[in-house]
Amino acid sequence: MRNTYTAIQKETLDTVEPQDSSVYLSVDDAQYGMESSDETTMPEPSLPTADRDLAVKTKRRSFVVIRPAEESGRVFLPLQQWEGVVVHVDEDEFTAILTDKTHPGNPEEEVVLDCQEIPEDDQSLLQPGAVFYWSIGYEEEPGQPRRRVSQIRLRRLPKWTRRELEEAERKAMEFADLFR
Amino acid sequence: MSEPLHSPPPATALEVSLFSCGVGECLAVHLGNGDWMLVDACRTHRQDLPLNLAYLEKLGMDLNRAVKLFVITHWHDDHIDGAAEIVKRCPDARICFSSALCRDEFFRLVACYAQTNSIVDRERSGVREMGRILQILRERKADPTYHPYHPPVLTQADHLLYRPGNCHVVALSPSPEAVIRAYEDISQIWKSLTDGSAGKIRSEATSTKP
């Protein structure tokens, strides 16, 4: 739901053409939570019923309209996909172990790839231990010739939580005991 | 290419067999009198037995007793994949780790990646395989039918690991310097997890030596 969003002030809300899958949320929901009913009103009746059901509007808040990204009509047809783990990074190249996701019976392979294969947005994530997905296939777009593409995306995951780290410290003491 | 061996070596023979798959190598060494040493583990498919263990099984060896020594040289993915299976199936084997791995930071790291609620891929990473091994040892230590419990052997260069008869097994590594470097690496990895400097992603714990 948070793919693409646009902040719109209340007074301009009526000028926005609502879309079926748009979601209207208060900017301050996270801070205030749900307000009491006397502060909450339904949005303008001009909005479609589905949007009215989803909308939460308060007297003192502005709105964020969350919309799905516009569909480009672009379709990716995968031919081959791997999951990889980076084991070493040089200035221009990196070494990775690949697991074949298309043919899971295949053994793992070690490969050296050009750092240029990594999208610019992901370059900062390229470090030993990083997990990535590599797909080769065809990209089709209306009115365009079919293209053969190769794309690598690095996996983004949240950091370890304090609770996980504390649990690890507790378990580590048990492991250390195995050596005594 | 030579014919694969399908019969056990003579009692007096020293036989060294090297196995390799797409990524990784491992060894099976006959020490004499039907006693074997396995070094590291690798397998072609995730569900298979490690190649060195599969070889002993093919020879008809009693895995419960034949493997006397299992040496885990380091925890890189290409040398440890399936090692927990060897520990599990060879309860008589003395397990040898690098002494660099007996540190609180390393155990914390292993415990962190071994957590069942971890959302990172549970099937990868040498450190996770170490977690499986330690978990098997933990269960074994708690099992009253499995006594006496023998803790893993922590090795350094020049340590004598096995001397059943005329055959001696001596570790050539890690050197004291390599152990200190590994301490530093492991401490650094743990520090990056706890202070958040690991950055935007939760990555696999990978390379450090020995």
Domain membership flag for residue A163: no
Domain membership flag for residue A179: no
Domain membership flag for residue A166: no
Domain membership flag for residue A159: no
A62 plus A105 within the same structural domain: no
Residue B38 pLDDT greater than 60, yes or no = yes
Cα A51 from Cα A58, distance rounded (Å): 15
Q: Which CATH number goes with the domain that contains A84? A: 2.40.50
pLDDT for A18 equals: 46
Residue A45 pLDDT greater than 70, yes or no = no
A83 plus A144 within the same structural domain: yes
Number of domains composing chain A:
2
- Shortest alpha-carbon distance between residue A46 and chain B (Å): 42
A86 plus A148 within the same structural domain: yes
pTM, two decimals, is 0.68
Lowest mean pLDDT among A12-16, B70-74, B204-208: A12-16
Across chain A, how many H-helices and E-strands are there? 3, 10
User: Taking residues A159-177, what's their average pLDDT?
Assistant: 86
A97 plus A59 within the same structural domain: no
The phi-psi region of residue B124 (left if phi > 0; otherwise alpha if psi is between -120 and 50; otherwise beta) is beta
A110 plus A141 within the same structural domain: yes
Domain membership flag for residue A124: yes
Tell me which residue range forms the domain holding A59.
Answer: 4-67
Cβ distance B138 to A174 less than 8 Å, yes or no, reads yes
Domains of chain B: 15-194 (3.60.15)
Comparing A63 with A40, the larger pLDDT belongs to A63
Task: For residue range B64-99, list pLDDT tens digits in order.
Answer: 899 999 999 988 777 888 999 999 999 999 999 988
Confirm if A96 and A111 have CB atoms less than 8 A apart. Answer: yes
Average pLDDT for chain B: 83
A176 touches chain B (CB under 8 A): yes
Angle among Cα B175, B183, B43 to the nearest 5 degrees reads 75
For residue B143, the chain A residues in CB contact (below 8 A) are: none
Alpha carbon distances (Å) from A167 to A171, B115, B155, B158, B198: 6, 8, 28, 37, 19
Strand partners of residue A160: none
A58 plus A80 within the same structural domain: no
Comparing B5 with B82, the larger pLDDT belongs to B82
Confirm if A97 and B78 have CB atoms less than 8 A apart. Answer: yes
Q: Count of alpha carbons within 13 Å of A86, Cβ hemisphere only?
A: 27
A80 plus A134 within the same structural domain: yes
The domain boundary, picked from A67, A88, A120, lies at A67
Alpha carbon distances (Å) from B202 to A129, B112, B132: 9, 12, 20
Domain membership flag for residue A41: yes
The domain boundary, picked from A18, A48, A67, lies at A67
Cβ distance B151 to A180 less than 8 Å, yes or no, reads yes
A9 plus A59 within the same structural domain: yes
User: Taking residues A151-156, what's their average pLDDT?
Assistant: 88
Lowest mean pLDDT among A4-8, A127-131, A149-153, B115-119: A4-8
Residue A126 pLDDT greater than 60, yes or no = yes
Residue A35 pLDDT greater than 70, yes or no = no
A59 plus A79 within the same structural domain: no
Q: Give this complex's ipTM.
A: 0.80
- Tokens 């962190």 correspond to B112
Cα B174 from Cα A155, distance rounded (Å): 34
A99 plus A136 within the same structural domain: yes
A164 touches chain B (CB under 8 A): yes
Average pLDDT for chain A: 73
Task: For residue range A88-103, list pLDDT tens digits in order.
Answer: 899 999 999 888 889 9
Torsion angle, alpha carbons of A108, A114, A120, A125, to 10: 50
For residue A180, the chain B residues in CB contact (below 8 A) are: 151
Cβ distance B109 to A168 less than 8 Å, yes or no, reads yes
Q: Tokens representing B61?
A: 């060896």
A58 plus A85 within the same structural domain: no
Which spans in B62-196 are helix H? 63-66, 77-80, 83-89, 104-114, 126-142, 176-194
Task: For residue range B140-181, list pLDDT tens digits in order.
Answer: 999 888 777 888 999 999 999 988 777 899 999 899 999 998
Strand partners of residue A83: A99, A133
pLDDT for A4 equals: 36
Percent of chain B with pLDDT over 90: 42
Domain membership flag for residue A113: yes
> Regarding beta strands B153-155 and B94-98, do their DSSP bridges make them parallel or antiparallel, or are they unpaired?
parallel
pLDDT for A144 equals: 87
Q: Alpha carbon A90 to chain centroid distance? A: 27
Lowest mean pLDDT among A20-24, B11-15, B143-147: A20-24
A100 plus A119 within the same structural domain: yes
The domain boundary, picked from A15, A49, A67, lies at A67
pLDDT for A156 equals: 80
Domain membership flag for residue A173: no
Confirm if A80 and A138 have CB atoms less than 8 A apart. Answer: no
